[in-house]
């Protein structure tokens, strides 16, 4: 019986970890693909200035950008902070609150 104890202990630990992992993975937010694209860039010198918001995956928040240039290279861009937050941050924050309140 004493040889069986380490096996039973290891089995119960693996089962516990598997259940926790499954719970965590099913509660992850689904962040749309646009949130993973870089913000727009520009090339050339011009007096046109474009402002908008983009989701920064390093800070898990939306940031403002302001670029000037005649030739804009498309990227992730939201016209308002609210639109960016609702699209990219809302699900992430909701899940963080869930873990804090448990």
Per-residue pLDDT of the chain in tens (102 residues, 90 and over written 9) = 566 666 555 566 555 555 445 454 555 567 888 888 888 887 777 777 888 999 998 998 999 998 877 777 778 889 999 999 998 988 665 444 444 433
This prediction has a pTM of 0.55
Each domain of the chain, given as residue ranges in start order, spans 30-89
Burial of 45 (C-beta count, 10 Å sphere; 0-12/13-18/19+): exposed
User: What is the radius of gyration, based on Cα positions, of the chain?
Assistant: 22
Q: Topology of domain 30-89, per CATH? A: Factor Xa Inhibitor (4.10.410)
């Amino acid at each position: 019986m004493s040889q069986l104890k380490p096996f039973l202990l290891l089995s119960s630990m693996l089962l516990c970890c598997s259940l926790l992992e499954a719970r965590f993975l099913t509660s992850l937010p689904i962040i749309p693909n646009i949130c993973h694209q870089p913000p727009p860039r520009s090339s050339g010198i011009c007096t046109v200035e474009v402002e908008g918001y983009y989701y920064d995956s390093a800070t898990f928040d939306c940031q403002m950008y302001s670029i000037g240039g005649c030739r804009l290279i498309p990227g992730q861009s939201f016209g308002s902070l609210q639109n960016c937050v609702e699209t990219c941050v809302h699900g992430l924050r909701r899940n963080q609150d869930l873990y804090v309140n448990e």
